[in-house]
Amino acid sequence: GGGQVPTCVASVQTDAAKVVAGYVGGFVGVFDAARGALESVAGLGARPRVAWHDVRDSPAEVSTQPNKIASHPSLPLTATVHEDGTLRLLDLRTGHNIHSLGAHSGPATSVAVHPSGLQVLTGGVDGFVRSWDIRQQRVLFESCMHSRKLGEGCAAVSFHPTLPLFASGGADGKVHIMA
């Protein structure tokens, strides 16, 4: 894939034959696992394209690297969180970035999509965990749940598949479970 280094991968929940990967240069690639081939690639910058870009030629059009990807449970969308602290929603059919939100003051490190598909949970090195309403593009809940240790804060977030719970884990050695 264009000499890029992958930083994160996720299976596409709406299509078992597809896998999505994020790359250092700010790209997201969709792979057809059955064929073992790259299907499309999107730059997540100001003018997304379904093609490889050389980040040295168009730095303003490419976002920072995605650190984590989560697939939407019922729509062909992925949520990505990035080194620049943004949360982005990518339409896998078109390759376009449909939402971009300033999620964290530093790098965003983790993302999860609620089983209903209506909320996204993010965590960042700032120690904050935020729950987002993806339809209204607003924060539903936020709390500084992890103290920074060795330059890291929140390392992982997850929704429970059936109960109204979510969890976060951090570099401070703590796991928080919230209802």
> In 3D, which of 89, 129, 96 has the Cα closest to residue 110?
129
C-alpha to C-alpha distance for 161 and 174, rounded to whole angstroms: 21
Co-location of 10 and 83 in the same domain? yes
Q: In the chain, how many domains are there?
A: 2
Least confident of 56-60, 113-117, 130-134, 141-145: 56-60
| 97 and 121, same domain (yes or no) | no
Q: What is the reported pLDDT for 57?
A: 33
**Shared domain check, 48 and 8:** yes
Which range marks the domain in which residue 15 is found? Answer: 1-102
**Average pLDDT in the 35-52 region?**
53
Whether residue 88 is found in the same domain as residue 110: no
pLDDT in tens, 64-112: 899 999 999 999 999 999 999 999 998 888 878 888 899 999 999 999 9
End-of-domain residue from the set 48, 68, 102: 102
Please check whether residues 98 and 139 belong to one and the same domain: no
DSSP track, 66-123 = EEEEEE-SSSSEEEEEETTSEEEEEETTT--EEEEEE--SS-EEEEEE-TTSSEEEEE
Q: Taking residues 140-164, what's their average pLDDT? A: 93
Structure tokens at 140: 């539903």
